[in-house]
């Protein structure tokens, strides 16, 4: 998921668009980091509503991120709220923030209780993110769109999805992010036929017009091709044949699928 979208998704329920500035180089969060990063920004937003800038009509929050050689630096700055003073004791929200950043994200969180507004600096490891911006100096200039896969190294991804609009949107967005799309396939027969074209990974809907995708999943395993399930079902495989296959719940954002594919191929290569 793109970092700017993740931040806006967490902040907009608590603020007007005019109260927010969210900016930085294009970058996507890895699938493994989305939940923890969402919780981090959710807690910052609710704290700003209760005690800071978002509790006032004229309050404002600026979120900016930069990359350096060692980490992703995210800056959270509040202004236009009540006068700020360091708390006499840590509240539950602050403790939760430190736990999330320290244990789940392996990150560093620094609070600066400026009278004009709270400032928080968050240092996050590079491996929580994917995209062209990772490993590139913050001032590097490029007019090219974000890509998860470097140019010249596109991976062939089989997309199997029986909802036509979902399949077209997912395929178009994954293609924009740098993946070479095989399909999409809407039936078992189409998916099985496309396997002969050679693919590097696959995204599989579990139920194709009433028929389970498991024969295709088994064929992919036989070919040692990694894949993930994309489904709205709670019970993906009652027989437990694919215990280690990642699952992304619908509705999904294509960038989250892209990040999961990157993680999947990286793990498979190792």
pLDDT tens-digit readout, 217-256: 999 999 999 999 888 766 677 677 888 888 888 777 787 8
Average of per-residue pLDDT across 12-18: 89
Query: pTM, whole model, 2 decimals?
Result: 0.51
Between 67 and 96, the more confident residue is: 67
Query: Is the domain covering 3-130 a CATH 3.30.565.10 domain?
Result: yes
pLDDT higher than 80, residue 148: no
Q: Mean pLDDT for the chain? A: 80
pLDDT higher than 70, residue 135: no
Average of per-residue pLDDT across 98-106: 68
Q: What is the pLDDT of residue 247?
A: 85
Q: What is the pLDDT of residue 147?
A: 34
Location of each CATH 3.30.565.10 domain in the chain: 3-130
pLDDT higher than 60, residue 197: yes
Percent of the chain with pLDDT over 70: 83
Cα angle: 227, vertex 156, 160; to 5 degrees: 50
Q: What is the pLDDT of residue 121?
A: 94
Location of each CATH 3.40.50.2300 domain in the chain: 156-269
Classify 240 in phi/psi space as left (phi over 0), alpha (psi -120 to 50) or beta. left
Cβ proximity of 118 and 61 under 8 Å? no
Q: What is the pLDDT of residue 77?
A: 96
Superfamily of domain 156-269: Response regulator (3.40.50.2300)
Tell me the pLDDT band of 215, cut-offs 50, 70 and 90: very high
pLDDT higher than 80, residue 144: no
Average of per-residue pLDDT across 129-142: 50
Cβ proximity of 162 and 187 under 8 Å? yes
Which residues 6+ apart lie within 8 Å of 4 measured at CB?
Answer: 22, 23, 24, 26
Helices (H) and strands (E) in the chain, counts: 7, 14
Neighbours of 150 (CB within 10 A): 9
15-24, 88-97, 236-245: least confident range: 88-97
Between 22 and 106, the more confident residue is: 22
């Amino acid at each position: 998921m793109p970092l700017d979208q993740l931040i806006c998704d967490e902040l907009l329920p608590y603020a007007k668009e005019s109260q927010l500035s969210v900016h930085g180089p294009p970058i996507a969060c890895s699938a493994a980091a989305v939940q923890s990063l969402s919780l981090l920004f959710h807690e910052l937003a609710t704290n700003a509503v209760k005690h800071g800038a978002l509790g006032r009509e004229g309050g404002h929050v600026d979120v900016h991120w930069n990359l350096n050689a060692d980490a992703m630096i995210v800056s959270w700055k509040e202004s236009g709220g009540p006068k700020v003073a360091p708390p006499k004791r840590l509240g539950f929200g602050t403790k939760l923030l430190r736990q999330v950043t320290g244990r789940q994200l392996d990150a560093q969180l620094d609070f600066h209780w400026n009278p004009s507004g709270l400032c928080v600096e968050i240092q996050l490891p590079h491996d929580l993110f994917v995209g062209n911006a990772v490993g590139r100096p913050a001032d590097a200039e490029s007019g090219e769109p974000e890509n998860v896969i470097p140019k010249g190294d596109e991976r062939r991804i089989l997309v199997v999805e029986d909802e036509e609009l979902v399949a077209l949107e997912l395929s178009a967005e994954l293609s924009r992010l740098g993946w070479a799309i095989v399909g999409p396939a809407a039936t078992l027969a189409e998916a099985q036929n496309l396997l002969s074209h050679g693919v590097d990974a696959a995204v599989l809907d579990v139920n194709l017009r009433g028929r389970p995708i498991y024969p295709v999943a088994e064929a992919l395993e036989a070919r040692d091709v990694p894949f993930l399930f994309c489904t709205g079902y709670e019970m993906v495989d009652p027989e437990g044949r694919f215990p280690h296959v990642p699952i992304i719940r619908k509705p999904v954002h294509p960038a989250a699928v892209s990040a999961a594919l990157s993680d999947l191929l990286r793990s498979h290569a190792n």
